[in-house]
Chains A and B, each alone.
Chain A
């Protein structure tokens, strides 16, 4: 099956928002190739006639009564924030500088 290159890992890490060191990139490329090789055996039995199952117990949508309930208060919601200001989460700059 497919092998996962160091560049693949770097791209995936960027998608997953995890900075990886050079050592980690090298190690993960090898480990993920071995793991993907092993798990690829699912294709041996997953023939087109088999339907997919996403959930162990078939469920229909669940609704609750449309009643007003007290939500988590602002203070409690912000209590664990790395930074807060004026009753809101304070976050770093969203967009990078134009190149």
Chain B
């Protein structure tokens, strides 16, 4: 990809700082690209050209006045529609919130604005972040820019597809069970789920509060680190936010890019491989391991014996928390109301939620209501919380032996739209490798490791101990460098060209 939209955020930032380009030019170039290709891709639910250009002009004016600005000032960003944006419609992919104008900004959004990043718009997602394909969006699916007949992953398929289609150099995602990492894997992009509490959840429409984490998405490891630095850190408005300094992720990315991993211990999770993993996924994973070894890392196999139970625990904990979080959509204070005029509150709620929620949301609310109901609580929710302890112990044991853990991000490449829509269990299996991190609160990254036999991107996952997000960036940047020197450039250079509509 050539021109402004083909450049990395780090390159754009440098060109902006040296005044080679203006933020208006950079922002307009991405808005033009969105206008040209987003019809078939459908990464965006809302595009805010006016707001983005106003923010760009403000940055340009400050820079012209000689002000010293934050590194990414003027570089445009796309925001997942799960984060509330004052005055810009926010739906979390749900019909129940169609047209809702939030009265405040999420902390992450405030930080983007304060750092001078023009917000291009809001990206598509599975409804309330429930899904692995964006097919559960109330506004139609996003299409994978590598093959428009395939899923872009989910729930943050819009944020990932916007990057892969060069509609945005940076985007914000949220990851409850893999919603940043799995879309990154299937679109050939980079995404990080930070340590739980590392990024504020204030103003993020909650799915499962003990699992949700907001994070940065980009096309390179360094760009991801630069965005992570902008959004991370303590927020008094989120009582689960970690009140401690965050690791220097940008430094770690630069250190990793030297290509030297001497002495870094890398553990391959035995339970996240083998059966169920597509041959091309396993092959690219094995090649990446060899590159890490060549960079000086020590590779060992480690066992996390309780990981096979993580998926089951997750699909009890998530629906339970979601069923209570989504009770707030009651048709009384904001959002949709379906009212025949003569009804009681209870009837209005039932009718509104029937129309406003899609199939997957209904399925998970009912499942969560079941798991939390008297007589079943101990057997289901209680047991799932115990599995959570066991998963954490597995991580503790593993991280006593190694610095990072690695696995394929997802068992397969992008599947066809519609292929798994009628089989919820098959859909849930996409998250088998990403879920353990959410249950334990540890950080994880996905970065591209090549194309499988079907010509589609494969993701490589790196996991680190809580609060050690910097390790993801060091190892990720080293692997990225080794892979790109083998490929002769970034993986996205090989993405099929999208047809631009005339404007």
Interface residues of A (CB under 8 A from B): 4, 8-9, 12-21, 24, 28, 31-32, 34-36, 38-47, 50-57, 59, 62, 64, 72, 76-77, 79-83, 89, 91-96
Q: A91-B345, A94-B345 are in contact. Are A45 and B353 (CB under 8 A)?
A: no
Interface residues of B (CB under 8 A from A): 100-104, 195-197, 210-211, 236, 239-240, 242, 306, 309, 312-313, 315-316, 323, 327, 330-337, 339, 343-351, 353-354, 357, 359, 362-363, 365-367, 369-370, 373, 379-380, 382-390, 392, 424-425, 438-442, 466
Chain B residues near A79 (CB-CB < 8 A): 101, 103
Q: List 25 A–B pairs whose Cβ atoms lie within 8 Å, in order of A's numbering.
A: A12-B373, A17-B346, A18-B357, A19-B350, A28-B362, A28-B363, A32-B366, A39-B312, A39-B315, A40-B312, A40-B380, A42-B383, A42-B387, A45-B387, A53-B385, A56-B438, A56-B466, A57-B196, A57-B240, A57-B441, A62-B239, A81-B332, A82-B339, A89-B332, A93-B343
Q: A17-B346, A42-B380 are in contact. Are A77 and B370 (CB under 8 A)?
A: no
Interface of B is mostly: helix
Chain A residues near B442 (CB-CB < 8 A): 56
Q: A18-B362, A80-B101, A91-B332 are in contact. List 10 more A-B contacts (CB 8 A).
A: A16-B366, A32-B363, A32-B367, A36-B380, A54-B388, A56-B440, A57-B240, A76-B103, A82-B334, A83-B337
Interface of A is mostly: loop
A24–B313 Cα distance when bound, in Å, is 25
Q: Which residue of A lies closest to B210 (CB)?
A: A55
Cβ-defined contact, B240 with A59, below 8 A: yes
Cβ-defined contact, A39 with B389, below 8 A: no
A53–B390 Cα distance when bound, in Å, is 9
Chain A residues near B382 (CB-CB < 8 A): 46, 52
A68 CB to nearest B CB, Å: 15
Q: Which of B312, B347, B354 contacts A18 (CB 8 A)?
A: B354
Chain B residues near A32 (CB-CB < 8 A): 363, 366-367, 370
